[in-house]
Amino acid sequence: MQIGLRIDVDTLRGTREGVPRLCQILAARNIHGTFFFSVGPDNMGRHLWRLLRPQFLIKMLRSNAPGLYGWDIILRGTFWPGPIIGEKAADAIRQAALDGHEIGVHAWDHHAWQSSTDHVAESTVHAWIQQAADLLTRLTGQPPTCAAAPGWRCTDGILQDREQFPFHFNSDCRGTSIFRPVVESKELTQPQIPNTLPTYDEVIGQNGITNETYNDYLVGQLKPDALNVLTVHAEVEGIVCAELFEQFLDKVIAQGGQFVPLGQLLPSTRESASNPIERGKIVKQVIPGREGWVGVQAPVG
């Protein structure tokens, strides 16, 4: 069984501390994954505060957010301008590329993306991706080969914009199988590799799931005969939950599981000639444990 491993990096601290730790953890097990970097200003504190309403407070308390993210992340960008992550933590990004991990664009400004993808101009979204891709290219010497929308917030306009970049695939939604998006009756060229599994903050504290039972729960969600894609966060699995994550990796490896970068899940040209990738679209949906909507795979109407 193959499990696509996606690592989202949202903040300066996640890049500086979480990424090197994850690189160590993965190297020790000879695993490669796909790192999606946010490289522009870290305004994530602003993002967390914006969500400060009762439901979010309950979630903060339930998941012990200050312990999980650190107060510096929660305050980042609230009282002072956010630092440019790609400049302040260039070495960590370079290291991930040197270690042979697949490198993709997550965001220029994660906070701006999550709070405004619904209403921002398409030219602005394009400029964000271009800026992030340019800085990643400068840092790693290679253009990023894929992209993943922050918070799985992806619209048809964003899907169309992806086609202007030389990405091999994108991972912009939740779903169950690899598909080629159809927008305005036109099939796009870049396949989607959806995230199939819940994230740590979505399930911890829900239905009695604790750190003691989390790994067993997650292993139970893996499907031997279907697509498996797990998203971990440099801020969580690379820092406070690093040991828990190591135990998860070892548990899955002991059962014969193999972690791979997302790009390795794509069918080869020969395979797809005889069995073409299905078509699909991305619709907005609310899912358990997450604020607001996310993009979810749906059949073409």
Which spans of this chain sit near Zn ion (rule: CB under 5 A)? 8, 10, 150
Closest to Zn ion by CB, 18 vs 180, is 18
Least CB distance from residue 231 to Zn ion, whole Å?
8
3-state secondary structure 68-80: HHCHHHHHCCCCC
Closest to Zn ion by CB, 170 vs 180, is 170
Least CB distance from residue 181 to Zn ion, whole Å?
20
- The tokens for 38 are 């946010």
Least CB distance from residue 299 to Zn ion, whole Å?
27
Least CB distance from residue 232 to Zn ion, whole Å?
11
- The tokens for 183 are 């927008």
Closest to Zn ion by CB, 6 vs 32, is 6
Sign of CA dihedral 200, 201, 205, 211: positive
- The tokens for 212 are 């003691």
- The tokens for 240 are 């406070």
**Cα atoms in the 13 Å half-sphere on the side-chain side of 301:** 6
Closest to Zn ion by CB, 68 vs 182, is 68
What are 293's strand-pairing partners?
286
| Residue whose pair of structure tokens reads 């939950």 in the numeric block | 241
Nearest C-alpha neighbor of 203 from the set 91, 288, 130: 288
Least CB distance from residue 73 to Zn ion, whole Å?
12
Closest to Zn ion by CB, 111 vs 180, is 111
Closest to Zn ion by CB, 8 vs 172, is 8
Closest to Zn ion by CB, 38 vs 228, is 38
Least CB distance from residue 301 to Zn ion, whole Å?
29
| 244: number of Cβ within 10 Å | 16
Least CB distance from residue 106 to Zn ion, whole Å?
6
Q: For 85-105, give the DSSP string.
A: HHHHTHHHHHHHHHTT-EEEE
CA atoms of 296 and 282, how far apart (whole Å)? 5
Least CB distance from residue 44 to Zn ion, whole Å?
9
Q: What is the CA radius of gyration of the chain?
A: 18
- Per DSSP, helices labelled H in the chain are 12-13, 19-28, 44-50, 54-62, 65-69, 71-75, 85-88, 90-98, 110-116, 122-140, 156-162, 200-203, 211-221, 242-254, 269-274
158 to 134, 147, 294: CA distances (angstroms): 18, 11, 14
Closest to Zn ion by CB, 10 vs 161, is 10
